[in-house]
Amino acid sequence: MTAAQPINAYISGTGFYVPPRIVTNDDLVNGYGIETTNEWIIQRTGIEARRYAERGVGSAELGARAAEDALADAGIAATDLDLIVFATLSPEYAFPGSGVLLQHRLGLNEGPNARHVPALDVRNQCSGFLYGLTTANAMVRSGAARHVLVVGAETHSAALDLTTRGRTVSSLFGDGAGAVVVSATTEDRGIRGCYLGADGSQAETLCQRVWDIRERPFIPLGEDGWGRVSPEHMYAHMDGRMVFKHAIAKMTGVLKQACDDLHVGLDDIDLFFFHQANLRINQYVAELLKLPADKVPHNIERYGNTTAATLPILLAEAVDDGRLRPGAKIALVAFGSGFTWGSAIIDW
């Protein structure tokens, strides 16, 4: 590449991995004793099943499986990477972040060709993949990196209240991972623009507190000196109606922002990849924007909400089944806890 040639960033490889264990809505009822029904969950969310990882499996392991597929699809080795961006709300530990655990799983710290590729963690929940993609795009277009691995991976099942008390939230989420490699090119293709937003005034509308670092100690202690976390702090809390309302407004708004800024009409876009949080939200947004159903793929019925992993899983599946082909113009849109949101337009 010469200095005179503009550098674009494109997705050169995709991959995904979901655990083999399938948990249906009926399994939530019969296996966990949750007072709900298959019909109730499908009517409100569109979810029929989700995947749960086995004990001992964390987000970095799921992410590594997806990353290996993405690297193979891109035709590069892990040692060719210049940066790893790992998006998750379910890291193995409070610290360090899961990015370094993923980096080590990719074999980058051992052997004669060891290359200590830097790893960056992103904590933007359902918008995490788009925040990570935006970072990768900027790094590649600036010339600071040639290949960036962006991974979204979640192990929700370990932190769900799988009782009737927690059914509103626990029925939504599943485990899984998706990954993309963002690479440099001088071809006229790739990521045309990324657009992000946040509204911290709604931070507690959808949250999982677990601890409060402002308190001393940050987790309450019992008389025996052991930490005690109450259920309302241990498990995720969500005001569903408020989330639904804001999701529709922000998703439509940030998609229109991207289209307006890039002078792209909705009719110019071949496929719309919406974050898979709730099928009803996505259908409502599609109806508002008058998008044809065949342009809005979904897989939430099989995987549930895998948070930072939904978009890269959806992309990888679309590549695998032939729906997403070179030359297509696509839009990515997400909304989630924070509140945070984002969109991207890509010429595949």
For 236-292, how does the pLDDT look when each residue is reduced to its tens digit (9 = 90+)?
Answer: 989 989 999 999 999 999 999 999 999 999 999 999 999 999 999 999 999 999 999
The pLDDT value recorded for residue 113 is 80
Residue 275 a catalytic site member: yes
Nearest C-alpha neighbor of 32 from the set 191, 146, 165, 214: 165
Average pLDDT (302-323) is 98
**Percent of the chain topping pLDDT 90:** 95
Which member of 8, 25, 126, 298 is catalytic?
Answer: 126
Q: Is position 126 annotated as part of the catalytic site?
A: yes
Residue 4 pLDDT level (bands cut at 50, 70, 90): low
With a cut of 70, say whether residue 313 has pLDDT above it: yes
User: Is residue 259 annotated as a catalytic residue, yes or no?
Assistant: no
Contact 308, 154 (CB under 8 A): yes
Please give the average per-residue pLDDT across 106-134, as a whole number: 95
Lowest mean pLDDT segment, chosen from 37-41, 113-117, 338-342:
113-117
**Mean pLDDT over each residue of the chain, to the nearest integer:** 96
In which residue are the tokens 């997806």 written? 66
Q: Is 42 exposed, middle or buried (0-12, 13-18, 19+ CB in 10 A)?
A: middle
Output the pTM of the full model.
0.96
Catalytic residue among 275, 278, 298, 299: 275
- The whole-number average pLDDT for the span 193-211 is 94
Task: Report the alpha-carbon distance of residue 297 to residue 38 in Å, rounded.
Answer: 22
What pLDDT sits at residue 3? Answer: 55
For the segment 51-98, what is each residue's pLDDT rounded down to a tens digit?
A: 999 999 999 999 999 999 999 999 999 999 999 999 999 999 999 999
Question: Residue 232's pLDDT is what?
Answer: 87
Predicted confidence (pLDDT) at residue 157 exceeds the cutoff of 70: yes
Could you give all domains of the chain from N- to C-terminal order, each with its CATH number?
Answer: 8-190 (3.40.47.10), 191-204+235-297+308-347 (3.40.47.10)
